[in-house]
Amino acid sequence: MENVNVENIRPEPKVNYLTNGFTAKSWLLTKDHKRIAILYLLTVSVFFALGGIYASLIRLELLTPASDLLESGTYNRVFTQHGIIMVFFFLIPSIPAILGNFLIPIMIGAKDLAFPRINLLSWYLYIAGGSLTLYALMLGGVDTGWTFYTPYSTTFSNSYVMLVGMGIFING
């Protein structure tokens, strides 16, 4: 019988949601609810930064009474873009998507959500809706305000209102 030195035996590193693959493919095709919550966190943070840039443009324009930085039509489009991004792509999805994906399975004692692929599909739909909305906003912009009230969104608006509406609808 041979004596084995116990001090030289290393325990295997425990695989968790952060160490289970480091490639982009492992993150984009994951079924782990914690990784999907982190994907939501990163995406929501990007939308928050973009909405913050629009808010900064609005505040910089309001420093002086003259239209120094933005013209009146551009100001209305920037104001609408800020509202759409902050409400539909930051405020509404932030708490249920991030905290719901990360904490609810842990709180109920489950290893994962019931349908992990549908959970990942919801993130992809969030990306698709956000991309479609940003595409429409960058093409010509929408100047109706984030509420899309009818006189502005039907009579006085351009054709990108429907595209933005589709992006928000895809977003959920």
Mean pLDDT, to the nearest integer, of 14-28? 77
Our measurement of the distance from residue 82's CA atom to the centroid of its chain's CA atoms, rounded to an integer in Å, reads 14
Output the pTM of the full model: 0.83
- Burial class (CB within 10 angstroms; exposed 0-12, middle 13-18, buried 19+) of 138: exposed
φ and ψ of 73, to 5 deg: -65, -40
pLDDT at 90 exceeding the cut of 80: yes
pLDDT at 39 exceeding the cut of 90: yes
Q: What is the per-residue pLDDT for 8?
A: 66
Cα distance between residue 33 and residue 117, in whole Å: 10
- Of 39, 50, 51, the closest CA to residue 127 belongs to 39
pLDDT at 121 exceeding the cut of 90: yes
Mean pLDDT, to the nearest integer, of 136-159? 75
Q: What is the per-residue pLDDT for 153?
A: 64
Q: Tell the residue number behind the tokens 């429907």, with chain if given.
A: 162
Q: What is the per-residue pLDDT for 124?
A: 96
More confident residue, 65 or 36: 36
Q: How confident is the model at residue 137 (pLDDT cuts 50, 70, 90)?
A: confident
pLDDT at 78 exceeding the cut of 70: yes
Domain chopping of the chain, boundaries: 31-171
Cα distance between residue 46 and residue 40, in whole Å: 10
More confident residue, 29 or 158: 29
